[in-house]
Amino acid sequence: MESIYKYKDYRAYIKDYYENAVAQNMRFSLRSFASKLGLNVSNLTRILKGERNISETTAKRFTCIFKLHDRESQYFLLLVHYNQARTQEDKQLFYEQIRLFRKTRLRNLGPEYDEYFSQWYNVALRELINILPAKLNSTEIAKLLQPSPKPNDIRKSLNLLIRLGLIKKHEDGTLALSEKFVSTPDEWTSTTIHSFQIGMAELGKEALNRFPKNERNISTFTLSLSSQGFGRVAEAVRRFQQEIADIANSDQNPDRVYELNCQFFPLSKPCREHS
């Protein structure tokens, strides 16, 4: 099947999935497809004909059956919102998000990249490669990072990035990124990733004293929400992250590496448990 990112109509993707499934398994039918979705054949037929919309819950069932990764699932849900938008304003809003998704593609890193996340400066160095003005030695590169690692650690980090295929070395000795953006799938719960996130949170804490206020942007926001509200905020954060990636992707003259940490967590237990 074609990549989901080539679709602008979720119904077209569903139809292509169904036709592909039937071609691979003659026993696969519209009835069995509907049964997996918790729908009857009549409702599924109406959905495919555009006579019936689907809820977000049903849309998520589709993504499970399609075995879409997290970002692909987000894109499918965006298609649902876009195709089912009731106003032109909403349609334009969702179309813009679709455009950003299709423009900014991320390379997902699997568990084999644990070593990459074992030190914060591996990640920072990879990003720094994107903006280095010239071929610098390890000592000069170390001085650019804040806090500064040891030059020997930089040498090891460069070798690691080359070995993992995250950066490439040209014949003249200059370095370049293999991919502009990389990320980890949401389902990857490596302890290395947890340690990396803790380390970045620590650097964020230290940034309060390390950098003047005009060089950082740190804020907090405490609020009360329902579980539904939590889900809406989490989705808004994902959209925000995608927008930030698009800004970075289109920035013409980057000259500094920044870290943006997103933290959204409970400060209490649900009160309904004690009502």
In the prediction, which pLDDT does 58 show? 94
Rounded mean pLDDT, 4-25: 90
Domain ranges of the chain: 4-101, 111-215
List the Cα angle 125/131/133 in 5-degree steps.
Answer: 115
pLDDT given for residue 186 in this prediction? 54
pLDDT of 107 strictly over 90: no
Most confident range, picked from 59-68, 97-106, 179-188: 59-68
Over residues 82-106, the pLDDT tens digits come to: 999 999 888 888 888 887 776 655 5
DSSP letters, 117-178, are GGSHHHHHHHHHHTT-SS---HHHHHHHSSSPPPHHHHHHHHHHHHHTTSEEE-TTS-EEES
pLDDT of residue 64: 92
Q: 113 pLDDT exceeds 80?
A: no
Q: Model's pTM, two decimal places? A: 0.61
Select 4-101's CATH number: 1.10.287, 1.10.260, 1.10.720, 1.10.3210. 1.10.260
pLDDT band at 251 (very low <50, low <70, confident <90, very high): confident
Portion of the chain with pLDDT greater than 90, in percent: 53
Residue 189 pLDDT greater than 60, yes or no? no
Q: Which of the two residues, 103 and 214, has the higher pLDDT score?
A: 214
The better pLDDT of the pair 112, 141 is held by 141
pLDDT at 76: 94
Question: Looking at per-residue confidence, does 64 or 6 come out higher?
Answer: 64
Q: Is the pLDDT of residue 275 over 70?
A: no
Per-residue model confidence (pLDDT) at position 108: 58
What was the pLDDT predicted at 63?
Answer: 94
Q: What percent of the chain has pLDDT over 70?
A: 91
Give the pLDDT score at 2. 77
Nearby residues of 131 by Cβ (< 8 Å), 6 or more positions away: 254, 255, 256, 257
pLDDT band at 110 (very low <50, low <70, confident <90, very high): low
Residue 246, pLDDT > 70, answer yes
The full DSSP string for 76-93 is HHHHHHHHH-SSHHHHHH
Higher local confidence (pLDDT), 265 or 97? 265
Task: Compute the average pLDDT of residues 51-75.
Answer: 90
What are the phi and psi torsion angles at 108 (to 5°)? -80, 130
Which of 101, 67, 98 shows the shortest CA–CA distance to 83? Answer: 98
Helix H or strand E segment including 70: helix 70-84
CATH architecture for residues 111-215? Orthogonal Bundle (1.10)
pLDDT, tens digit, 9 for 90 and up, residues 217-233 = 999 999 999 999 999 99
Task: Please report the pLDDT score of residue 103 as a whole number.
Answer: 61
Q: Quick one: pLDDT at residue 112? A: 60
